Structure 1
Amino acid sequence: MTKTIWITRTQPAAAQSASVWAEAGFEPEVLALLDVMPVAYSPIPKNAILIFTAKNGVDHMAQTDHRAICVGDATAAHAEASGFRDVVSVDGTSADITRWVLANLNKDGTLIHISGRHVRGTITEDLAAAGYNATRVITYELTPVPTWPVKRISHVALYSPLAAKTFAELARERDVSTLTTVSISKATNAELDGLSLNARYIATRPTEAALVKAVQTP
């Protein structure tokens, strides 16, 4: 029996995710639970080092003549393809970004976390408390989209706490006892508490490959 997985993230990342899941033997159904809207922001200082915790941050940053620190390899590759220079991947979480900065950068520069309006983690707060000139600039915002697949699905891939929260609010009005979810983080999975799902899996790392592995080898 074909397993159908609902890819809940926005484009263009959703298409890349769908390709990975198709290679893993799933039938992907792309339907975003969030909409991405740009937010106006002031020009970024040329000497600033930018921190990206999502591809959306890269996509909504017009200036690319900056050094960049990225949360993972996929975001780093996206930043490099977009023209950013001297790109570093910490291949981890927002807390790993903080640890990398503390270990590798002095405190005389400017660090700016390019993010959406909703953010998890306390990168700028932690770095500022450690004596760094760290701030956050919001360049986009995500808004919930109340949608649900028409076709029957067996699995749901969730890529952020906000997407999981949106899914959970919609799921409470439906029978989801046959659905299996796979979340990109513990914080994402936590938004599903209280739902009567078939199963819930969490990726060990915030990557597509880890999401697939979580479902295939629970």
Structure 2
Amino acid sequence: MATQSRLPAFLLTRPAAQSHRFAAQLHQRFGQDIAITISPLLAPAFLGAPFPQGSFAALIFTSETGVAAFLANSARPASLPKLAYCVGARTANAARNAGLESVSADADAASLVALIRQHGQRGPLLHICGRHTRGDIAQSLTDAGIPTQSCVLYDQIAQDLTKDAIAVLRGEQAAMVPLFSPRSAAVFGSQVLALSLSSQPTYAVLSKAVGDSLSEVKNAKLCYADKPTAASLIDAIAKFYAAA
């Protein structure tokens, strides 16, 4: 366990609701005295796009934002199925609260595709997604013989780091920046380059893909989660500072 004196100032960049939830998990693990600054880098914007025509056997969700965009869309057909395949427990819980029958892969997009194939789905399926996605779940499933369409219902608009966030990065205390997605990592990396920091924060990243999105940041210190979950990311942070 990392001691309090070794712990950094945390800078959280997820959307506000997810950042506050993660902040609570950090406080629970490391204590109430740790410094946490929240500066969301991506703001969701629902698009109100029309749904594809046709009959679908199940829905696919790869984020809680996708579930929220689905609920907010007034053009949502009543004939859509109740069965929803979800990338992880948080997304599955959101889908369940929306009245859907959710099944969670408890991992990542590749595990979600594998789960759907294991369930013997024949499709067609409908993936509710955002404008910026990594990989193509719909294409992967279609190539595997399960016809799947994508339905883009939201965007994630890039936001500038706040003055408080920049102060953390330029401060004397070491900084830790947990990053959960390749896009948020890329947005953060571009802003960090513009700041010309004298020293880099440490980045706790959810996956190799997230870490690779920081490739332009020189001398970036990375620690990786063993699994694509918030709990595993916190474990990685604890191990990193315990070994420091």
User: In structure 1, which of residues 24, 27, 40 is the aligned counterpart of residue 29 of structure 2?
Assistant: 24
Partner of 2:138: 124
Shift of 1:114: 0.8
Letter of the 1:135 partner, please give it: Q
Partner of 1:101: 116
Paired residue secondary structure (1:106): coil
Q: What is the CA–CA distance in structure 1 between the aligned matches of 2:136 and 2:117, rounded to whole Å?
A: 14
* Larger gyration radius, structure 1 or structure 2: 2
Q: What is the CA–CA distance in structure 1 between the aligned matches of 2:157 and 2:57, rounded to whole Å?
A: 28
* Cα deviation code 1:83-131 (max 9, x no counterpart): 222x111111111111111111331x32111110011122111111122
User: In structure 2, which of residues 148, 154, 157 is the aligned counterpart of residue 143 of structure 1?
Assistant: 157
Q: Which runs of 5+ in 1 are unaligned?
A: none
Paired residue secondary structure (1:138): strand
* Cα deviation code 1:53-73 (max 9, x no counterpart): 111111111258621111111
Letter of the 1:120 partner, please give it: R
Q: What is the CA–CA distance in structure 1 between the aligned matches of 2:57 and 2:68, rounded to whole Å?
A: 18
Q: Would you say 1:58 and 2:62 are equivalent positions?
A: no
| Aligned residue runs from structure 1 range 106-185, under 5 A | 106-107=121-122, 109-148=123-162, 149-153=165-169, 154-173=175-194, 174-175=196-197, 177-185=199-207
Identity %: 26
Partner of 2:172: none
Higher helix share: 2
Q: Which runs of 4+ in 1 moved over 6 A?
A: none
Relative distance call for 1:155 and 1:123 in structure 2 (3 A) is same
- Aligned residues: CA RMSD: 2.0
Relative distance call for 1:43 and 1:191 in structure 2 (3 A) is closer
Letter of the 2:110 partner, please give it: A
Q: Does the 8 Å CA contact 1:95/1:121 hold for their aligned counterparts?
A: no
Corresponding pairs, count: 216
Relative distance call for 1:103 and 1:65 in structure 2 (3 A) is closer
Paired residue secondary structure (1:100): helix
TM-score normalized by the length of structure 1? 0.90
Q: What is the CA–CA distance in structure 1 between the aligned matches of 2:208 and 2:150, rounded to whole Å?
A: 24
TM-score normalized by the length of structure 2? 0.81
Higher strand share: 1
Q: Which runs of 5+ in 2 are unaligned?
A: 170-174
